[in-house]
Amino acid sequence: MSVLFISHSSVDQEPADRINEWLQAQGHTSLFLNFDPAVGIPSEVRWEQALYPKLRACQGMVVICSQSSLDSKWVFAEVVRALSDGKPVFPLRVDEAPLDPILEGCQVVDARKDWNEALKRLGHGLRAAGIEPDGIQAWQGGCPYPGLMAFRVEEAPLFFGREEEVAHGLDLLRRLRRSTRGGGGLGLILGASGSGKSSFLRAGLVPRLLRAPADWLPVGPFRPGFDPFSELAEALSRAGGGGGRELRRQLTEAKDGASALGGMARHLRLSVGHPGATVLLLVDQFEEMLEAPPDHPARDFLRLLADGLDSGAGVAALGTLRSDYLSSFLQEPALQRLSPAAGPLPENLALGPLAQERLVDVICRPAEKAGLRLEPALVQALMADTGTSDALPLLAFTLRKLYDMRGSNGVLTLRDYRESLGGLQESVGREAERVLQARRRTVGDQEFAREKASLRQAMLALVRINDEGAPARRPATWNELPEAAHPLLKELIAARLLIARSGPRPETVPPRALDEARSRCPSGALEVAHEALFRTWPLLQGWLEEEREGLRLRWRLEQQAQEWSRHERQDGYLVRDPELSRMVELLSGHPLTPAEREFLKCSERARDEERARTGRLRRRLKASGVAVLVVLLAVVGLAYLQVRQQLRQATGYRLAVQARTLAQGDPALARLLGAAAVEVTMKEGRPLASAEEALQEVLQPAIPLFRGDSAVLALSSGPGDGKVLVCLRDGQVHRLDPARAGQSETVTVPGSDQGLPLLMAAALAPD
């Protein structure tokens, strides 16, 4: 990466070489000189293709100003590009040619009379712009590797491998500073878990910002935690903004975030003597505020932050954000107005996995600072094993353990790496098991078994299953964790596998708020040092696999409880069966927060009330159902009888009409039809009037009539020329024969002893 770009005309090669040599002597080893045979542009490469990437990557430009450079279109193009990108440009005059007008706003260094004085002024200007020589910071001693923890600001001399990203990050900040009048806006450092976002912010960017106090006043970095107002107030206090308690009171009571943050920014600038500097709020792990419940102080803090950044009061913010929280960020109403009109995302820099070729610097250069020596075979093995997404924290942890195991000669060996640590992937798990076995030897098997069972509960409380189904870090307060597990948890903290975060500080929190905070988090909070622990400790992996469904439900419970609270605890947002019963069953052994327990309790109460209402409704329906059924059957029966009687009457009427018609031409048949009309229409002992009238006209001699249920089945030819009427009555077949004076007889039909319920028609054979 080229930190400094030296722009010059080919005629001015001599002063360019002189500047290049002086900068290297000062410790600026990252340089780009157009015609330098080592790092310049090869003649066979197109000029602009190689030029512009170098310009984008540099942090600043030194321009050799002469008549030749004034006439050069390439120098002009380079300067315009640097100025448009917001790079600091340092013109160095070497002859009597006039200065190009585009450089009038830059700090000009005059080397025409005194080169030594000019170089001193150039060095002062570079430092004021935050461009320090490589390795200018001294290492104070100790272990040069951070382990699973993030690098701190004071460990910047040990931070290697991200030089190009640092340059891009400084470019992002310059764009932020220009984004609104007087500065302002929000920028993000995006990356997956294990990409080193916190280290990049603390050890990569902050030290460089501190070298440019006239431009930047960094506040933090700070983690929002459970009380972001207190954390910001303390960060402002450390930056020179006044007392933390008073600052917190002003922040929490402010009705207008723009005036609150704007006023504090003005006070901070005056207190440090840089009235033109941009106040930069550095928020590490921004996602902690996005996953907070609706009534959490973080929601008010987000609104205050958005008001302050949107006000143009010279306040900007830079936050680290895990990539899997990007959708939550984009859906946060308070932050949507901070994204530029060109797209949904604010200014951002994505940190990808560290390139393999940069691992040598990450491994070897901190060791050089600390006077250590690594066996070449160890370096090769570490690079070969570093291929996973969480390689950086595992690598740093392994190197720290190797540092602890070093001999008096200060050599880190391959044997220790292979035999004692088990390689990169096993080093974390072996350290965790070492802690457990040491505790077992101290307290004995019986007490250790009790503590281990409680540790299982505690570790499950420190993890959640994210939307991708992978385990993720979840901070928990000490009073959420089983007390029996506290000794083992403290041992894991000492081994740097867990992190204990301090609770609220009395000097930054008002008494009432402090009491409330202590009740929620009496001794601070606890979390795993890095999520790599979930994937590299076999015992914990087994616990997570056994409780995967419970952890998934726990995360869903947490989200649903927040949604319920966000909608003013409306019953419509409570969890229902069968999910509720599953939650109660699987989460009975999990430590829950008071808000989650209340949500489950209200859900169970709503379920029981719904069941009671349903039971009462069923009983009422059952009691009323019998009566409804009786009435319904009665209505149906009556309707059936009415319809049946109407059909019978219609049939009888038709038979009576036919009987009258045939009375003269076929008297015997007319008498049969008349008799049938009477039989069909009989009701309560009386036939239809029309049937009686027809019978009176045609019935000679009288034919005995059937009574009760009967039906005409057939009218067929019988013996001789007569007609026979066949009727079904009381389950038996009867024959009426007019040739025998209307006498009737029972006809024997096969199967009639079982009744004839299906008999619908009949016909007579000749016999």
pLDDT of residue 486: 93
Q: Is the pLDDT of residue 403 over 50?
A: yes
Give yes or no for a cis peptide into 719 (omega within 30° of 0): no
* 135-184 per-position pLDDT tens digit: 545 666 789 999 988 999 989 989 999 988 988 898 888 888 877 554 45
C-alpha of 135 from chain center: 40
pLDDT of residue 445: 94
Running DSSP on this structure, what letter comes out for residue 575? -
Taken in order 716, 718, 723, 725, is the CA torsion positive or negative? negative
> How far apart are the C-alpha atoms of 377 and 633, rounded to whole Å?
95
> How far apart are the C-alpha atoms of 401 and 525, rounded to whole Å?
26
pLDDT of residue 157: 87
Q: Is the pLDDT of residue 523 over 50?
A: no
pLDDT of residue 489: 94
Running DSSP on this structure, what letter comes out for residue 524? B
Residue 311's CB is within 10 A of a number of other CB atoms, namely 21
Highest mean pLDDT among 191-195, 590-594, 629-633 belongs to 191-195
Q: What is the mean pLDDT of the chain?
A: 79
pLDDT of residue 683: 54
Q: How confident is the model at residue 247 (pLDDT cuts 50, 70, 90)?
A: confident
C-alpha of 565 from chain center: 18
Q: How confident is the model at residue 731 (pLDDT cuts 50, 70, 90)?
A: low
**Strand 373-374 relative to strand 347-350, pairing:** unpaired
Highest mean pLDDT among 21-30, 465-474, 527-536 belongs to 527-536
Q: Is the pLDDT of residue 712 over 60?
A: no
> How far apart are the C-alpha atoms of 625 and 614, rounded to whole Å?
16
* 38-92 per-position pLDDT tens digit: 445 555 455 566 677 777 777 789 999 999 999 988 889 889 988 887 888 999 9
Class of residue 647 by CB neighbours under 10 A (exposed 0-12, middle 13-18, buried 19+): exposed
Residue percentage of the chain with pLDDT more than 70: 76
More confident residue, 502 or 665: 665
Average pLDDT for residues 5-25, to the nearest whole number? Answer: 87
More confident residue, 313 or 196: 196
> How far apart are the C-alpha atoms of 400 and 387, rounded to whole Å?
19
Q: How confident is the model at residue 751 (pLDDT cuts 50, 70, 90)?
A: low
More confident residue, 404 or 299: 404
User: In this structure, what token pair is assigned to residue 518?
Assistant: 């202590």
Q: Is the pLDDT of residue 310 over 70?
A: yes
Instruction: Read off the pTM.
Output: 0.64
Counting every residue written for the chain, the total comes to 767
Q: Is 444 left (phi over 0), alpha (psi -120 to 50) or beta?
A: left
Q: Are 417 and 378 in contact (CB under 8 A)?
A: yes
Average pLDDT for residues 682-701, to the nearest whole number? Answer: 54
pLDDT of residue 758: 44
pLDDT of residue 280: 93
Taken in order 308, 311, 317, 320, is the CA torsion positive or negative? positive
Class of residue 253 by CB neighbours under 10 A (exposed 0-12, middle 13-18, buried 19+): exposed
Order across the sheet with 60-65: list the strands: 31-33, 4-7, 60-65, 89-93, 109-110
Average pLDDT for residues 284-313, to the nearest whole number? Answer: 82
3-class secondary-structure state, position 38? coil
Helical packing angle, 47-57 and 163-179, nearest 10°: 80
pLDDT of residue 464: 83
> How far apart are the C-alpha atoms of 393 and 533, rounded to whole Å?
10
pLDDT of residue 401: 94
More confident residue, 598 or 257: 598
* 438-456 per-position pLDDT tens digit: 999 999 999 999 999 999 9
- As separate numbers, helices (DSSP H) first and strands (DSSP E) second, the chain gives 29, 21
* 348-365 per-position pLDDT tens digit: 999 988 888 888 989 998
Report the chain's C-alpha Rg in angstroms: 48
Q: Is the pLDDT of residue 560 over 50?
A: yes
Closest to 326 (Cα-Cα) out of 467, 185, 527: 467
Q: Is the pLDDT of residue 584 over 50?
A: yes
110-114, 341-345, 714-718, range with the lowest pLDDT? 714-718
Q: How many Å from the N-terminal Cα to the C-terminal Cα in the chain?
A: 123
* 364-373 per-position pLDDT tens digit: 989 988 888 9
